Chains A and B, each alone.
Chain A
Amino acid sequence: MILSYLCDIIWLYVMNDPKEQFSSIYDQYIEKIYRFVYLKVSSQEIAEDLTSKVFLKGWEAYKRNQEIKNPGAFLYRIARNAVIDHYRERGRAKTVSMDNIPEIADFAADPHEKALLNADITSITSAILKLQDDYQDVLIWYYLEDMSAEQIAALLDKPAGTVRVMIHRGLQALKDELREQS
């Protein structure tokens, strides 16, 4: 009884530490945010750099305010802005030509990069890059991260119906893009 109470106190003490809390958030979202950024910049180096910045910004904000209800949405918003800033700084068009894709992406001996060598994945990645930002986001969140239309709606601050339409149109746009590539 006393021991159980003691363990609870220790556990609460540990989990009340913002560093521990954000560490847990980091473990939970690092892959998702990295994938999201990678699919939008198509470069391992840039994706790593941007993802680090996303989590650092997130951590700074979290230290000031730990009342963040939805850490996923919070991090995705930072990631979106980071990608926008990245393209703004580079002064580069958001759409990337098919010819440039192999040069932009850092294909190496890494397992996930090997997977990217797969032709299908390469083509779909380049097709996604050519879509509008909103379509890219909803397709990634809906089909890759298994978020519901309602969750995406909350994230984009748009009605769920609008999001469903965007998913439908985004999928159609991706299909057209792939058809064009082939």
Chain B
Amino acid sequence: MEPQELISKLQELKQIKPRQEWVVLTKINMFGPITITAKEHVNPRTAWSFANVLGLFYQRKLAYAFTAFLFIFVGIFTFLHYGLPQKKNVKVASQSISAADLAIENTLKNNVKDFKMKSQNLAQVAQSKSPGKSPVVSLAIKEVKDAAKNLTDTIQKNPQLAKTIALDVNNNKTLLDIPGGTDAGGLKQVSDDLYKTLVQQLIKDEQGMTLTSDQKMVLDNVVSLDKQGKDSDALVNLVLLVHSTDSNNGSTSVQH
């Protein structure tokens, strides 16, 4: 027999292998305590004592499972904590919008307050009989005009707020009836612009609402007055109409 043949025959002996059941059984017998304990009937109350829980970590599979659990837990925690930038942004954005609305409304309130105060001032100055009042009246008129322009601009930029100041502007009208001129220093023109802006915006608002037949008739009349350039009269009717429609809808306009 050649040496190579002999060696190959020797290597055939690698086929000798132990029985798989015996291999497993021997291993269980050798490292048995954990496995046997796991198979025993254990009182559920004592099954999860600290020592038992600690003992479980000696098993490799549980260690892997624990690692996987930690991975998922950390992932979820990280996601919940840092992973929702859009939601956060939406919240911040909504807060910013609310803050912006509040700022505009405050500006408008200040403008209305300023307009009313200056109108009262003009009325007082115009009614006084002191000599040389003309420059003071002119100055007062200029101040009212500026206030009216500011108010007009604010309404044009924020038409949704027109309704909140309509009543105030309407009530202020009498203060602007200055004796002694049809258009004192261009004040009439400026106040007409303010009325027109307000009236047109309020007409749009009312047209978008559900109106009764009576209310529709009032609105048609307002539109007609607006077309005729009688915005001061139109505003009076509109204030009444707005009050009426708001009552129907269960809300009231903002009172200043």
Residues of A within 8 A of B (CB): 2-3, 6-7, 10-11, 13-14, 17, 19-20, 22-23, 26, 30-31, 34-35, 38-39, 44, 47-48, 51-52, 55-56, 59, 110-112, 115-116, 118, 120-121, 124-125, 139-140, 143-144, 171, 174-175, 178-179
Q: Assuming A6-B67, A121-B12, is B60 touching A110 (CB within 8 A)?
A: no
A20, A59, A121, A179: the one contacting B13 at CB < 8 Å is A121
Chain A residues within 8 Å of B30, by CB: 26, 52, 55-56, 59
Is there an interface contact between A52 and B26, defined as CB atoms closer than 8 Å?
yes
Chain A residues within 8 Å of B15, by CB: 112, 115-116, 121
* B48 in contact (CB, < 8 A): no
Residue interface bits B44-83, CB-to-A below 8 A is 1, else 0: 0000000000000110100100110011001000000000
- In the assembled complex, the Cα of A26 lies from the Cα of B86 at a distance in Å of 55
Which stretch (B3-11, B109-117, B233-241) binds chain A? B3-11
- In the assembled complex, the Cα of A116 lies from the Cα of B74 at a distance in Å of 56
- In the assembled complex, the Cα of A10 lies from the Cα of B66 at a distance in Å of 9
Is there an interface contact between A30 and B23, defined as CB atoms closer than 8 Å?
yes
B9, B16, B67: the one contacting A115 at CB < 8 Å is B16
Is there an interface contact between A171 and B1, defined as CB atoms closer than 8 Å?
no
Q: Chain B interface residue count: which class?
A: 20 to 34
* B41 in contact (CB, < 8 A): no
Is there an interface contact between B3 and A171, defined as CB atoms closer than 8 Å?
yes
Q: Assuming A30-B23, A124-B10, is B58 touching A20 (CB within 8 A)?
A: yes
A3, A140, A178: the one contacting B6 at CB < 8 Å is A178
10 shortest A-B CB distances, which residue pairs? A115-B15, A34-B18, A143-B10, A14-B63, A112-B17, A35-B16, A112-B16, A52-B26, A124-B9, A10-B63
- In the assembled complex, the Cα of A51 lies from the Cα of B25 at a distance in Å of 13
Is there an interface contact between B31 and A111, defined as CB atoms closer than 8 Å?
no
Q: Which of B14, B18, B29 has the most CB of A within 10 A?
A: B18
Main secondary structure of the interface of A (DSSP, over half): helix
Q: Which B residue's beta carbon lies closest to that of A58?
A: B30
Q: Assuming A3-B70, A6-B70, A30-B18, is B60 touching A20 (CB within 8 A)?
A: yes
Q: Chain B nearest CB: distance from A107 CB in Å?
A: 12
Chain B residues within 8 Å of A125, by CB: 13
Q: Chain A nearest CB: distance from B59 CB in Å?
A: 9
What are 26 A-B interface contacts by the 8 Å CB criterion?
A: A3-B71, A10-B66, A11-B63, A14-B58, A17-B58, A19-B31, A20-B58, A23-B27, A30-B18, A30-B27, A31-B18, A34-B16, A34-B18, A35-B13, A35-B16, A35-B17, A39-B13, A48-B22, A51-B26, A52-B30, A112-B18, A115-B16, A118-B12, A121-B15, A124-B10, A175-B3
Q: Chain B nearest CB: distance from A130 CB in Å?
A: 14
Is there an interface contact between A111 and B17, defined as CB atoms closer than 8 Å?
yes
